[in-house]
Structure 1
Amino acid sequence: MMKIVAIVGSLRKDSFNMQLVKTIEKRYSHLFEIEIADIGNLPFYNEDEEKSPSEKVQNYKKMVADADAVFISTPEFNWSMSGVLKNALEWLSRVDKPIAGKPVLPMGVSQGVLGTVRAQLHLRQVLGSIQATTLPPAGNEIFIGSAGQKFQDGYLTDEGTLKFLDLVVDKFVTFVKEQESK
């Protein structure tokens, strides 16, 4: 079974981005298993420590290296991704670079109507610079806005959004398999 690491860029207890990942984990459990990375406990990236990072960083990097693919669910803070997410990506971009060449599906949820459009633009720039392989964005961008109206009891419940998610996840699974066969 395909193994996916999910990186959630929000530390908030009732994070809609975590709820999205939990929805995906439950809805597609027949396609893949998800392991959620705990990025809130990572130390700040420090170049002085990159060659001998802490055990937390080593475990995190190994988790990503061992996965078939990565989901990144980001909130939008001040028109960009969160600092905790950027820090987590910094650790993945250095020395052994476990995210380089790894299939990644960016996504995000916000209370605003635009979803996380601006945050994901920045996220895609960073992912390109660290050589992650993303599903081409045209028609595959998961920008979930108006979150308060689309989530209930910890899960995404909006039928239109779930149908779109079904299409994108199906394309991503195919994309991952294609990348593995190269």
Structure 2
Amino acid sequence: MPKVEVIEIKDIPLFNEDDMQNSPKCVHVLAEKIMQADGVIFGVPEYDHAVPASLKSVLEWLSSVEHPFENKPIMIVGASYGVQGSVRVQINLRQILDAPGVNAQIMPGHECMLSNVREKFDENDNLIDSSSVAFLAECFGSFLSFIKIVNLDLVEN
């Protein structure tokens, strides 16, 4: 059974290009965790059709200081209250992760977008929609296969 570690970014300060030489220790700790991971799953909300400023800031720190996403298998999942299910934020995040200096390996297809989430979670934040649970299981299975393919390709090259 794969191990998943959930990492919050709420305590990482906003990126400051003038302060890159004194980057916060928490940025280096996060970068190390990412480099040690077989893959990274981004669970991202959609704010005005884009990534939240806090996530963009963390990505700027990481891509400026350590580059932990270089060739790292990435899966993006998102949820929204509306019917679009985070489609625009996922496009935005894919562009950021594919940019020079980041160079992540983003899983193609299997965009995991949960729409109308108010109806799909209970009062304890448990996903109760059986078709969404089945779809997520399929996506995570595909991600495990993607990790193997990316890592095998890196070893062979």
Give the alignment's TM-score, normalised by structure 2.
0.90
1:160 Cα deviation after fit: 0.8
Higher strand share: 1
* Correspondence for 2:138: 167
Q: 1:85 aligns with which of 38, 48, 55?
A: 55
Partner of 1:144 in structure 2? 114
Where relative contact order (Cα < 8 A, 6+ residues apart) is larger, the structure is 1
Task: State the partner residue of 1:158.
Answer: 129
Residue 24 of structure 1 corresponds to: none
Q: Where do residues 9-158 of structure 1 align in structure 2 (5 Å cutoff)?
A: 30=1, 32-129=2-99, 130-137=102-109, 140-152=110-122, 153-158=124-129
Q: Deviation at 1:52?
A: 3.6
Matched, 1:177 2:148: yes
| Contact 1:101–1:133 (Cα < 8 Å) also in 2 | yes
Gapped runs of 5+ residues in structure 2? none
Letter paired with 1:107: V
Larger radius of gyration: 2
1:138-160 CA-to-partner distances (Å, cap 9, x unmatched) read xx011101001111122211111
1:45–1:90: 8 Å Cα contact kept in structure 2? yes
Q: TM-score, normalised by structure 1?
A: 0.78
Tell whether the 8 Å contact from 1:65 to 1:98 is kept in structure 2 after alignment.
Answer: yes
Whole-Å Cα distance in 1 between the matches of residues 108 and 38 of structure 2? 18
Equivalent residue pairs, number? 150
**Deviation digits for residues 13-38 of structure 1, max 9, x if unmatched?**
xxxxxxxxxxxxxxxxx2x1111222
161-170 vs 140-149, which deviates more?
161-170
Q: Deviation digits for residues 101-133 of structure 1, max 9, x if unmatched?
A: 100101101111111011111011101112110
